Structure 1
Amino acid sequence: MTTPIPHPVVSRDRWIAERKVLLAQEKALTHERDRVARERRALPWVKLETDYVFDTVDGPRRLSDLFQGRRQLLVQHFMFAPGWEQGCKSCSFMADHLDGAALHLAHRDITLLAVSRAPLADLQAFKARMGWQFAWASSGGNDFNRDFNVSFAPEDRIDGEVYYNFHMTPFPLTDAPGISVFYRDDAGDVFHTYSTFGRGVEVMMGTYNLVDLTPKGRDEAGPSYPMAWVRHHDRYEDAPAPACCGGAKA
Structure 2
Amino acid sequence: MNTAIAETNAVDHPVVSRERWLAARKTLLAREKELTRLQDQIARERRALPWVRVEKDYLFDTPDGPRRLADLFEGRSQLMVQHFMFAPGWEQGCKSCSYMADHNDGANLHLAQRDLTLIAVSRAPLADIQRFRERMGWQFNWVSSYGSDFNHDFGVNFHQDEMSSGKVDYNYVRQPFPHEEAPGISVFYRDGDGEVFHTYSRYGRGVEVMMHTYNLLELTPKGRDEDGMDYPMAWVRHHDRYETAAKAPAAAACCGSKA
- Shorter-chain TM-score tier: over 0.9
Deviation beyond 4 Å, 4+ runs, structure 1? none
The aligned amino acid for 2:64 is D
User: Is 1:247 matched up with 2:256?
Assistant: yes
Cα distance in 2 for residues equivalent to 1:246 and 1:142: 22
Aligned residues, how many?
Answer: 248
Listed one character per residue, the Cα deviations across residues 20-54 of structure 1 (whole Å, up to 9, x for unaligned) are: 01000101000000000001000000001112100
Offset, 1:219? 1.1
- The CA RMSD measured in Å over matched residues stands at 1.4
Q: What TM-score, normalized by structure 1, do the two folds share?
A: 0.96
Q: Secondary structure at the match of 2:67?
A: strand
The answer (yes or no) to whether the contact 1:76–1:115 under 8 Å persists in 2 is yes
| Change over 3 Å in CA distance of 1:58–1:210 after alignment to 2 | same
Structure 2 residue matching 1:129: 3-state secondary structure: helix
Structure 2 runs not aligned, ≥5 long? 1-8
**Aligned equivalent of 2:174:** 168
**Cα offset for 1:157?**
3.1
Task: Provide the residue aligned with 1:212 in structure 2.
Answer: 218
| Offset of residue 4 of structure 1 | 5.4
What is the one-letter code of the residue matched to 1:241? A
- Which structure's CA Rg is the greater one? 2
**Alpha-carbon distance between aligned partners in 1 of 2:252 and 2:71, rounded to the nearest angstrom:** 33
Secondary structure of residue in 2 paired with 1:247: coil
Report the CA distance between 1:172 and its aligned residue: 1.1
In structure 1, the gaps of 5 or more residues are none
Contact 2:182 2:255 (C-alpha < 8 Å) held by counterparts: no
Distance 1:243 1:184 in 2: 38
Whichever residue aligns with residue 249 of structure 1, its letter is K
1:222: how far off?
Answer: 3.6
1:103-118 → structure 2 map (5 Å cutoff): 103-118=109-124
Decide whether aligned partners of structure 1 residues 34 and 80 sit closer, same or farther in structure 2, where only a CA change above 3 A counts: same
Give distance in 1, aligned partners of 2:229 and 2:209. 24
Tell me by how many angstroms 1:245 deviates: 2.8
Alignment partner for residue 39 of structure 1, among 12, 35, 45?
A: 45
Partner of 1:238: 246
Find the aligned partners of 2:25 and 2:251 in 1 and give their Cα distance.
Answer: 35
Equivalent-residue separation in structure 2 for 1:4 and 1:65 (angstroms): 58
Using the TM superposition, give the Cα deviation of residue 14 of structure 1 relative to its aligned residue in structure 2, in angstroms. 0.5
CA gap of 1:49–1:245, structure 2 versus 1, over 3 A, is same
Q: Is the Cα–Cα contact under 8 Å of residues 183 and 255 in structure 2 kept in the other structure?
A: no
Measured in 2, the distance between the counterparts of 1:235 and 1:5 equals: 31
1:65-116 deviations in Å (ceiling 9; x for gaps) = 1101000000000000000010000000000000000010011000011000
Matched with 1:77 is 83
Partner of 2:227, secondary structure, is: coil
Task: Tell me the equivalent position of 1:7.
Answer: 13
Q: Determine the C-alpha separation between the residues in 2 that align with 1:225 and 1:6.
A: 26
Contact 1:52–1:144 under 8 Å retained in 2: yes
Task: Please report how far the alpha carbon of residue 243 of structure 1 lies from its aligned counterpart in structure 2 after TM superposition.
Answer: 5.7
| Identical-residue share of aligned pairs (%) | 70
Alignment of 1:84-123 (within 5 A): 84-123=90-129
